[in-house]
Structure formats: C-alpha cells, structure tokens
C-alpha cells in the first residue's frame, strides 16, 4: 500500500513538471541544479569523472563553439542508460518544458542530417558533451552542455543561477522537407515572429530597422568569448507602436523562457531594470520565407542574434549574449572581490 502511494505521488509530481508546474515546496534553481549535478557525477566511473570535471578557472569553461567537432567533456555516446537519464535530469533542472523540448529535438535532428548526408559519421545524436566546472554545492560552480548547434552555459552559487549565457541553439534543417519527420520546424516561432515584426514596420520605421538588403552569412558575434553592442543598433522600441512593442516582447520571451521560470524571471527583471524602451530591433535580408534573413534584438545588457542564410535559408543559428555576465564573468568578479575583502 505504501509503495503504491509513493508511486502515485511520484507520477503526480512528474505530471506537474510536464505541465510546466512545480510543487509549492520545490527547491530553488540553484539547489535543484546542484542536486542534479551531484547525482550525475556520483553515477560516473573515475575515468568518466576525469573527463567531465574541470577546475572552475579552467580555460575550457570559456572555450565554446556550436560547430560539429570533437570536444572535451563526457559525450552521451559514452554514458550508460542510467547515466543518460541523470544527464537529462540535469538539463531539466534548469530548462523549462519548452526548453527541454527544443534541446532534445535539436539533438535528434543529427540523425536527420546523418541520413541526408549519406550516413556521415560526424552526424551523431549522441555526440553532445557534458562538462562540470568546480564542485557542485561547494562555493561557485558551473556546467555546460555542448555539441553541434547547442551550447548552454551556467554558473551557480547556492540557490542562485548566476549566469545562463552564452546560450546558443541552432537547427538544420530548419524545416524538415522529406522523410517521416517532414514538416517539423523546431524554431518556427523565432522565425515567424521576427518576420511578422519586420513586415509590420512602415516606410519610416524601416529606415532605421532595416540595416542591410543582404543578410550576413552567420551570426555576427560568432563564438566570440566576449561581445560588445553591435552597430547600427536598429529601430528603438520607442518608435514602435503598441502592437509592434507587444510582438517584440513576445519574441524576446520566446528566447528567455527556454529556461525555467525563476531563471527566465531574473532575465526579465534585468531587461526591465535597463528599460524596455532602450531595446532596439534590426532586420537584414529578405522578408520572404525561404530567402536569407537575419535579425537582432539589442538592449543595454543583452544581445539576441538570429540568422537563417545557409543551406538555401533552411539553417538557423540563434544566440543570447550578456554584455557583462557571459560565463558569469561579472558575478564571479564580484564574488572574488568580496571573498578577498570580507566586510
């Protein structure tokens, strides 16, 4: 009877998470991340742990990229089934339901590319790597999941997620055009809302909002370790009408809410503190589907880039950057200063 009741409670809690809800007594994001990371590391062999864990100050922590290549860290390919479950639990402890869906589907598209490219061996849905930096639960620590079209970076201290950038998600093909998954468009909202906003601009707004007739071949910031605001910034939000401002907010929220609610809310508060009116929108390239296009949204604290030009405009790259706190740089600097000069 007792085991049946426990099983029922477990099913109830899983259902709440699946619905995007969390129990009233749920742990903070930092605590859940720490617990999930500890569970994952405890399941590794010494050899696997040696591949996975790096010093917090290691240069590897900022050595990020989104192209298909061999990486440091522990790939899913070398995990047992039980370890994979714990790796997914780690991801689920910080992402929203929407974020988990996007990341899992993104990884699965490597199999589509494998088939489209005559069984190319470097297209492998299991070549995504987990790395942990520092010791979870002991002072400040971080972790990363990375592979083709994916790089998510987090820094944690206690109950708080100090940083969640750089955050890169890409997809190829952006629309699966043949085979059993035909019609799948993983980043359709990011594409469609951006185009809808660009198309809504009138002639005067386009003078600032349209920055080039041809889209760049990729996101402009690439895999740079630190970024600065891009120029021209584009059309200020103050020159958008109420309907356009609502579109802009919806577009930003689509990116922000890849993370669980508490982390997304912290991002929203930072944006709000810097002023929604200080955000700008810029578009380059064609307004028609299937033709190369690019947009960016830029505020005082962040940069969001989207590009779809490769493979006949069927290959999307998106990235969210924090000008001051990528890789937790600003938070870590303040932390070390306080640690060195206690009050």
3-state secondary structure of 221: coil
Q: What is the mean pLDDT of residues 46-53?
A: 98
Q: What is the mean pLDDT of residues 291-317?
A: 98
Flag the least confident range among 96-100, 162-166, 242-246, 332-336. 332-336
Q: Give 95's DSSP letter.
A: B
Q: What band does 339 get if pLDDT is binned at 50, 70 and 90?
A: low
Query: In terms of C-beta density within 10 A (0-12 exposed, 13-18 middle, 19 or more buried), how is residue 261 classed?
Result: middle
Q: What band does 33 get if pLDDT is binned at 50, 70 and 90?
A: very high
pLDDT at residue 333, as a whole number: 85
Q: What is the dihedral sign for C-alpha 26, 154, 222, 77?
A: negative
Q: What is the mean pLDDT of residues 68-91?
A: 97
Q: What is the mean pLDDT of residues 298-304?
A: 97
- Tokens representing 87 are 């790796």
pLDDT at residue 2, as a whole number: 40
pLDDT at residue 340, as a whole number: 61
Query: In terms of C-beta density within 10 A (0-12 exposed, 13-18 middle, 19 or more buried), how is residue 253 classed?
Result: middle
pLDDT at residue 14, as a whole number: 44
Q: What is the mean pLDDT of residues 173-201?
A: 97
Distance, CA of 96 to CA of 261 (rounded, Å): 7
pLDDT at residue 120, as a whole number: 81
Evaluate if residue 51 carries a pLDDT over 70. Answer: yes
Evaluate if residue 341 carries a pLDDT over 60. Answer: no
User: Which is more confidently placed, 89 or 330?
Assistant: 89
CB 163 within 8 A of CB 327: yes
Orientation of helix 81-92 relative to helix 29-42, angle to 10°: 170
Q: What band does 285 get if pLDDT is binned at 50, 70 and 90?
A: very high
Evaluate if residue 182 carries a pLDDT over 60. Answer: yes
Q: What is the mean pLDDT of residues 51-57?
A: 97
Residue 52 C-beta-side C-alpha neighbours within 13 Å: 27
- Tokens representing 14 are 């899983």
| Count helices and strands in the chain by DSSP H and E runs | 11, 13
Name which of 114, 131, 322, 85 is nearest 227 in CA terms.
Answer: 322
pLDDT at residue 21, as a whole number: 47
- Per-residue pLDDT tens for 9-20? 344 444 444 444
Q: What is the rounded average pLDDT for all residues in the chain?
A: 91
Flag the least confident range among 9-18, 145-154, 196-205. 9-18
Q: What band does 235 get if pLDDT is binned at 50, 70 and 90?
A: very high
pLDDT at residue 334, as a whole number: 82
Q: What is the mean pLDDT of residues 241-245?
A: 98
- Tokens representing 221 are 């910031």
Q: What band does 26 get if pLDDT is binned at 50, 70 and 90?
A: low
Distance, CA of 59 to CA of 54 (rounded, Å): 9
pLDDT at residue 13, as a whole number: 42
Evaluate if residue 8 carries a pLDDT over 50. Answer: no
Task: Classify residue 161 as left (phi > 0), alpha (psi -120 to 50) or beta.
Answer: beta
| Share above pLDDT 70 across residues of the chain, in percent, rounded to a whole number | 91
pLDDT at residue 19, as a whole number: 46
Distance, CA of 273 to CA of 250 (rounded, Å): 18
């Amino acid at each position: 009877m007792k085991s049946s009741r426990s099983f029922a409670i477990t099913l109830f809690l899983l259902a709440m998470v699946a619905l995007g809800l969390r129990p009233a007594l749920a742990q903070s994001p930092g605590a859940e991340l720490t617990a999930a990371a500890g569970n994952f590391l405890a399941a590794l062999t010494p050899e696997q742990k040696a591949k996975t864990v790096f010093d917090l100050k290691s240069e590897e922590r900022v050595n990020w990229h989104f192209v298909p290549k061999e990486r440091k860290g522990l790939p899913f390919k070398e995990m047992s089934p039980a370890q994979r479950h714990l790796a997914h639990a780690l991801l689920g402890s910080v992402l929203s339901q929407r974020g988990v869906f996007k990341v899992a589907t993104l990884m699965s598209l490597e199999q589509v590319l494998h088939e489209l490219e005559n069984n190319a061996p470097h297209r492998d849905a299991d070549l995504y790597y987990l790395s942990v930096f520092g010791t979870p639960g002991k002072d400040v620590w971080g972790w990363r999941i990375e592979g083709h079209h994916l790089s998510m970076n987090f820094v944690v201290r206690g109950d708080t997620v100090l940083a969640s950038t750089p955050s890169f998600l890409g997809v190829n093909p952006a629309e699966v055009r043949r085979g059993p998954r035909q019609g799948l468009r993983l980043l359709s909202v990011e594409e469609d809302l951006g185009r809808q906003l660009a198309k809504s601009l009138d002639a005067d707004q386009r003078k600032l909002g349209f920055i080039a007739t041809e889209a760049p071949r990729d996101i402009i910031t690439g895999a740079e370790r630190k970024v600065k605001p891009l120029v021209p910034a584009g059309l200020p939000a103050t020159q958008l009408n109420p309907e356009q401002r609502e579109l802009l907010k919806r577009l930003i929220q689509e990116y922000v809410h890849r993370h669980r609610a508490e982390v997304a809310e912290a991002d929203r508060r930072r944006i709000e503190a810097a002023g929604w009116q200080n955000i700008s929108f810029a578009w380059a390239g064609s307004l028609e589907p299937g033709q190369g296009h690019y947009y960016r949204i830029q505020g005082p604290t962040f940069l969001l880039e989207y590009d779809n030009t490769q493979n006949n405009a069927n290959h999307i790259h998106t990235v969210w950057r924090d000008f001051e706190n990528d890789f937790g740089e600003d938070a870590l600097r303040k932390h070390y200063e306080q640690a060195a000069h206690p009050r």
